[in-house]
Amino acid sequence: MQLLLTYDVVTTTPEGRRRLRQMAKLCEGYGHRVQKSVFEITCTDAELLTLLDSATRIIDVSDDSVRVYRLPSNCFDAVHRLGVAEPAPHHDPLIL
């Protein structure tokens, strides 16, 4: 499945900045960063459950937010980009 994951983490405290780094690292393990806090992800149902569980353990539910949008198949192939945005290599292996 293809997903668009976005997050907003409060970074006014050292703990918030730590959560931001943890969320970024988590998402980098699943997909491609296309903007600062936006990732395009291709994964299985099981991987999605693991990702959501890990994100829940990282964020502060009273301050932070995560949104996951399930997209139609092959949606990433039809993305319109403006400016310096490069296409993400979704068909290539994800190297950490």
**Annotated binding site: which residue ranges?**
8
Residue whose entry in the numeric block shows the structure tokens 């997909």: 31
Residues tagged in the binding site annotation for Mg(2+):
8
CB 82 within 8 A of CB 15: no
CB 5 within 8 A of CB 38: yes
